[in-house]
Every structure is written in structure tokens, then in C-alpha cells.
Amino acid sequence: MIQCPRGTRDFLPDEMEKRRFYENKLRHTAGTFGFREVETPIFEDAELFILRSGPNVLKELYAFKDKGDREIALRPEMTAPAIRMFVNGMSNDPKPIKIFYFGQCFRYERPQSGRYREFFQFGAELIGSATPETDAEVISMAAAMIRNLGLKEYKIRIGHIGVLRQKIADAGVPKERAAEVLQKLDKKLYDEARPLLEDMNVDSDAIDDIFSLTETVGGVEVLDRVPGEAGDWLRQVVAYLNAMGVVDVEIDLGVVRGLDYYTGMVFEAEAPSLGAEKQICGGGSYTLSELFGGEKVFSTGFAIGFDRILLAMEKEGQVYEPKGIDAYVLSVSDDVRMKAAEIVAGLRAQGISADVDIMGRKMAKALKYASSIRARYAVIVGAKELAEGSVTLRDMTSGEQTLVPVDSLASVIRQ
């Protein structure tokens, strides 16, 4: 028996209905913030992702040569494609540009809880503006999305990559080796960061200072320890967030994010219920467009791991109830089957979700099926009732049956 490939999933009707429901909540929230949806191809030139993330990304890429010998790759994320699209086709649009996207991404890695080889991301980019308000706008949308999905326990942590970059530069880390150090600090691998820093002749006090900075967590007051522009910037971001009603954020100067292209504010959201793989959202301000052949343009964006946030909601006990259909039409005898077809078509034309027996089942079996597909009503078409222009409407929950004229069937069901 052929199965779906390892690390991928089929979504059956109940699961799919739930996913679309929450996907549309994200889409709706993005709409209220004035973000507009875009879509990019499932695969891109592999080069695009190497430019964004460095050659190491190849290890996890689904990369292959197409029949024209082009090196292409299934997208592992959607920020690079979105910015490529901006460079190709939107660079002259009035700024700021607010876009979002939702879709499959692919990473060849070991499947584990909440991690798949085909996974779903929601993301947004605000392109062409670099102000504290820009950062607040983006963080507030991420917060609204998490809140609107209904997740109860989450934490949003905001940092500034400039603070740590300045600190390690002041400590004597050469510019070209900064990324190495930041990657260790991103994962809080202090045991590995220390010999690395010692090797660069950073003295022990400075190292302790750097480590302590990455553990600086708390309210806006911790910014008192951060002199200069970065501290002022974050203070303003938090002030705007508070004005917009987003008060549940924390300053965390240990938020590093793994990648080189971030320029200022960085943030993450996590759901503690998920344990080790608790990050559900990450983003920040960056420039990427110049790597893809465009002008340098400041952007702020984020991505939400859709599978993980759904998992977190599940762990909190959130249950989605599938809707079922409005009506199931069945015939008492064969001579009314054409009439049943006419009735179901009439209901559908009026926007009612309706199904009809197509297997010639007897009433008891047909009602059992109607119940299995969660029909609210059964419409029982019989010759006797039809003679008077009526059908029997059965409430599938209560079992109550009433005679309803065919003409008013739709309006009764709609009530």
C-alpha cells in the first residue's frame, strides 16, 4: 500500500475544516491590519535560499535539477520568495507595502512532534519603512493573530540585535567572526561560546558581560541597562505597543535569531505547553532585497508556524467542532427520486448545503448515513406528501418530524 511520503501528512475532512477555520482567522486578522495576501511558487532557484541563509541551508533543502538542468529547491521558508517578488514586481509601489502569505514549506529533517518535512507557515512582511511604529505594527499583528486564534498561554519576547552586535564588537570580536559567536549565543551554548571568544582574545570579564546581556529579561525597565539608540528604539516600540493595547510583552536581549540579515528589533513568541519545541513565531527588521539584485530596503516581518500553534491550542484543550451539512434529502420510493433531485438542487441554489441519496437506500439506512455526515435535517420525500406539495422535515437531533411545503423548505431550514 502506497503511503504519503515520510514527514508529510494527509488532512482528512474534519482536520481540514479545522485548519481552514484557523487559517481564515489569520487571514481575517491580517486583513484588519491592512496586509494583503500574495503567493509565490512552491519552488525557486536554489540560489535564492543560499543567498538568504548561506550554503549550510543546502543540507536541509529539497533541492534538485529540473529537466532543463536548473538547480531548483522546494521553499524552506517564504521571506526570501516574498522579497524576491517585491524586487521583481512591486519595488515601485507606494511604501510601505504590507503583504502576507500562507502555504507549505519544506525541510529535509528528522520528523518529530510538531516538526514535519512539509509544514505550513503564515508570514507577513512590512516593506519600505524603518521606524519604531513599523516594528510595533508588526509585533501587534503577530500578537493579535495568536490572541484571535484563541491560544491562551504564550509569551512574546522582544530584543534588538544591534545591542549584542555592538557589545561583541566593543569586546574585540572581529566583524567577520560575529555570526559565529551570535549563532552560539542564539542557542545559549555558553560552553561553546566561551572558548570561541577566548580564542578571539576577549577577556573573561567582557565574556561574562556578553553572557549576562543575553540573559537580560524583564519589563521595559531593563532597557535602563542599554544605553544609546537601540534602547531608545525599543522603548518607543513598547510605548506604541502599549498604546495599541499590547501589554503582554517582555524585553529579552537574548533574542538573537539565527540569521545575518536582521538589522534591529527581533522578536519571538513561544507557547510553553510545547516543551522543547516551543517557538511558534519569530521575526524582526531586516534588509534582504539588495541580495536579490534590488535596492536596499528596510523591512520588518515574521512567520508563524501554523502546525505548531495548532498543536499548542490542542494541548490547551481547544476543540474544533466540524460543522456538518444543513440537509440530507432522501426518497421514500423510487417514483419520487427525480423530485428528490429537483428539491436538493433547489436548496443548493439558495446556498443551503444539501446532499441527496444517490444509492437508492431504504429510509433507515439513509437516515443512518445522514447522521454519519452530521446533517441537521433529513428531507423525506414521499409520494403522498408530494401530492400536496409538501415533504417531511426531520430534525436529526430531536427526531421531530413536520410537514413543510416544498416552497418554504429553504426558509425553514435556514432558521
Tell which positions 73-112 bind a second copy, by CB under 8 A: 74, 81, 84-85, 87-90, 94-96, 98-99, 104, 106, 108
Residue spans of beta strands (DSSP E) within 186-320: 217-218, 249-252, 262-270, 279-287, 298-305
248-307 residues in contact with a second copy (CB under 8 A) are: 292-294
Report the residue from 206, 239, 363, 396 that binds a second copy according to the rule CB under 8 A: 239
What's the min distance (Å) between Cβ of 207 and a second copy?
38
Site mask for a second copy (CB under 8 A), range 370-399, x = bound? --xx--------------------------
Residue 414 found at the interface with a second copy (CB under 8 A): no
326-345 residues in contact with a second copy (CB under 8 A) are: 328, 337-339, 341-342, 344-345
Residue 21 found at the interface with a second copy (CB under 8 A): no
Distances (CA, A) of 358 to 217, 245, 270, 329, 344: 63, 54, 49, 10, 11
Report how far residue 360's alpha carbon sits from residue 144's, in angstroms, rounded to the nearest whole number.
50
Residue 353 found at the interface with a second copy (CB under 8 A): yes
What's the min distance (Å) between Cβ of 245 and a second copy?
5
Residue 363 found at the interface with a second copy (CB under 8 A): no
What's the min distance (Å) between Cβ of 230 and a second copy?
19
What's the min distance (Å) between Cβ of 180 and a second copy?
26
What's the min distance (Å) between Cβ of 166 and a second copy?
25
50-69 residues in contact with a second copy (CB under 8 A) are: 51, 62, 64-68
What's the min distance (Å) between Cβ of 17 and a second copy?
7
Query: How many residues does the structure list for the chain?
Result: 415
Other Cβ atoms less than 10 A from the Cβ of 350: the count is: 13
What is the edge-to-edge ordering of all strands in the sheet holding 401-405? 354-356, 327-331, 377-381, 390-395, 401-405
What's the min distance (Å) between Cβ of 2 and a second copy?
5
What's the min distance (Å) between Cβ of 134 and a second copy?
5
Residue 204 found at the interface with a second copy (CB under 8 A): no
- Could you tell me which residues are beta bridge partners of residue 284? 266, 301
Q: For residue 142, which of 120, 122, 115, 161 has the smallest C-alpha distance? A: 122
Q: Which three cell numbers stand for residue 44?
A: 525557486
Report how far residue 101's alpha carbon sits from residue 301's, in angstroms, rounded to the nearest whole number.
11
112-131 residues in contact with a second copy (CB under 8 A) are: 118, 126, 129, 131
Residue 167 found at the interface with a second copy (CB under 8 A): no
Q: What are the backbone dihedrals phi and psi of residue 327, each rounded to the nearest 5 degrees, phi first? A: -145, 145
Report the residue from 43, 267, 298, 377 that binds a second copy according to the rule CB under 8 A: 43
Q: What is the DSSP letter of 89?
A: I
Residue 364 found at the interface with a second copy (CB under 8 A): no
Residue 232 found at the interface with a second copy (CB under 8 A): no
Non-local CB neighbours of 311 within 8 Å, separated by 6+ positions = 113, 114, 274
Non-local CB neighbours of 25 within 8 Å, separated by 6+ positions = 145, 148, 149
Of the candidate spans 47-55, 262-270, 272-280, 405-413, the one that interacts with a second copy by CB under 8 A turns out to be 47-55
What's the min distance (Å) between Cβ of 340 and a second copy?
8
With residue 379 as reference, give the H or E element that holds it: strand 377-381
Non-local CB neighbours of 66 within 8 Å, separated by 6+ positions = 72
Distances (CA, A) of 231 to 161, 164, 252, 253: 11, 12, 12, 10
